[in-house]
Amino acid sequence: MTRHSVVFTSERTVDIHREPVLSPGPGLMLVQTELSAISEGPELLVYRGEISEGCNVDESMPELQAMLGFPTKFGNSIVGRVLETGEGVDPNWKDQRVFAFHPHESHFLAQPKELLLLPEGTDPEDGVFLPNLETAVNLLQDGRPLIGEKVAVFGQGPVGLLTVALLRRFPLSEVVSCDLSSQRRLLSLQWGAQRSLEPEELSELRNCDLTYELSGQPATLSQAIQVTGFSGRVVIGSWYGTKRAEVELGGAFQRSRIHILSSQVSSIDPPLSGSWTKERRMLVAMSLLAEVRPRRVITHRFPATAAADAFGLLDNDSSQALQVVLTY
């Protein structure tokens, strides 16, 4: 049996490496991947070579904590089934559908603590969105929307759409989204936004109490600040990598007491850490999978062996490829 892995070998170059599949040793399990999702924001940064030198990519994935360079494996969302269990592992794990934060590979070894057992009947195309849904939960916890507030969400990629879907569960006065893509704006309305604007229409949007910047584009941050009202909150969920954000902080900003907060799913907001853990937050996200049905976001499916084509599509025209998944 052969394992194939997606490897970033140089800037804008992806290869498939093949090697024998190892049997699980003591305390390990062998997982056969069914599906993995490409996280457009961070993975395109890796693909384009736009990761800051020495950057700690993901605190939840020890194998990625070293300085990221080429060649490297990357990815953080896999759904598969347990093929074999090693000595000392409960044999009931065998044949179970599991989720893992792991690079794109057809087979991999993992300890039980590194796998999450998905609820029975979970569609793998829903399960692979678990990181995105957890991120959306974290964004709401960080932004703390209040009853009656006006909320804007910039960027309607998978995380932006899921954030809109969760915000619509709150008794807010309005949820407004913004995106360059007409296709994404239409989807945003279907996912719960009451209005979805293109950047040229932002003059219609003012005095938001809470604004999320999820576009991944540094220039959007100034737009997010401009639509935020007095003492409003701007939550930045984007990862810009080496791209610089030139932000307009003069004029109204100086007088508006706007709060700007960075949000990252690898940790819990300190004021919540007394009762919340990453495990608890993940369970909340998992409980939402069947109801939110995030698989609706998938626009393209590629065999994992054609990963180079998948990344080429995202690099050249991500507006038409909302969510790309790799099949095995």
Task: Report the distance separating Cα 31 and Cα 106, nearest Å.
Answer: 8
Is 70 exceeded by the pLDDT of residue 65? no
For residues 60 and 95, membership in a common domain is answered with yes
- Domain enclosing residue 140, as ranges: 132-271
Rounded to a whole number of angstroms, the distance between the first and last alpha carbons of the chain is 14
For residues 80 and 197, membership in a common domain is answered with no
- What type of residue is 167? L
Lowest mean pLDDT among 60-69, 175-184, 196-205: 60-69
Q: What pLDDT does 266 receive? A: 92
For residues 142 and 254, membership in a common domain is answered with yes
In a domain, 282, yes or no: no
For residues 188 and 113, membership in a common domain is answered with no
* HEC assignment per residue over the chain: CEEEEEEEEECCEEEEEEEECCCCCCCCEEEEEEEEECCHHHHHHHHHCCCCCCCCCCCCCHHHCCCCCCCECCCCCEEEEEEEECCCCCHHHCCCEEEECCCCECEEEECHHHCEECCCCCCHHHHCCHHHHHHHHHHHHHHCCCCCCEEEEECCCHHHHHHHHHHCCCCCCEEEEECCCHHHHHHHHHHCCCEEECHHHHHHCCCEEEEEECCCCCHHHHHHHHCEEEEEEEEECCCCCCCCCCCCCCCHHHHHCCEEEECCCCCCCHHHCCCCCHHHHHHHHHHHHHHHCHHHHCCEEEEHHHHHHHHHHHHHHCCCCCCEEEEC
Other C-beta atoms within 10 Å of 82: how many?
A: 23
Q: How many domains does the chain have?
A: 2
Task: Report the distance separating Cα 257 and Cα 263, nearest Å.
Answer: 19
Decide which of 271, 289, 306 is a domain's last residue.
271
Decide which of 231, 256, 271 is a domain's last residue.
271
Could you tell me the pTM of the whole model?
A: 0.91
For residues 172 and 233, membership in a common domain is answered with yes
Query: What confidence tens digit (pLDDT) does each residue in 122-168 have?
Result: 999 999 999 999 999 999 999 999 999 999 999 999 999 999 999 99
**β-bridge mates for residue 327, sequence order:** 35, 303
Burial of 286 (0-12, 13-18, 19+ CB in 10 A): buried
For residues 66 and 191, membership in a common domain is answered with no
Other C-beta atoms within 10 Å of 253: how many?
A: 17
Lowest mean pLDDT among 179-188, 194-203, 227-236, 316-325: 316-325
In a domain, 54, yes or no: yes
Q: What percent of the chain has pLDDT over 70?
A: 95
Decide which of 255, 271, 287 is a domain's last residue.
271
Q: Read off the CATH number of the domain in which 78 is found.
A: 3.90.180.10
Q: Read off the CATH number of the domain in which 225 is found.
A: 3.40.50.720
For residues 214 and 260, membership in a common domain is answered with yes
pLDDT grade, residue 246 (50/70/90)? Answer: confident
Calculate Rg over the CA atoms of the chain: 20
In a domain, 261, yes or no: yes
For residues 244 and 136, membership in a common domain is answered with yes
In a domain, 317, yes or no: yes
Is 90 exceeded by the pLDDT of residue 58? no
